[in-house]
Amino acid sequence: MYNYKKLNVWKDSVDLVTEIYVLTNDFPEREKFGLISQINRCSVSIPSNIAEGAGRNSKKEFSLFLGYALASSFELETQLIISNNLKFISDEQKENHVDKLNMIQRKLHSLIKSLK
The secondary structure of 29-59 as a DSSP string is GGGTTTHHHHHHHHHHHHHHHHHHHHTSSSH
Structural domain total, the chain: 1
42-63 pLDDT, tens digit each = 999 999 999 999 999 899 999 9
Total Cβ atoms within 10 A of residue 56: 15
Report in angstroms the alpha-carbon separations of 53 from 4, 22, 29, 37, 82.
9, 27, 34, 24, 29
CATH number for 82: 1.20.1440.60
According to the model, what pLDDT value does residue 1 have?
72
1-42 pLDDT, tens digit each = 789 999 999 999 999 999 999 999 999 999 999 999 999 999
Domain that holds residue 19: 4-115
Q: Rg of the Cα trace of the chain?
A: 14
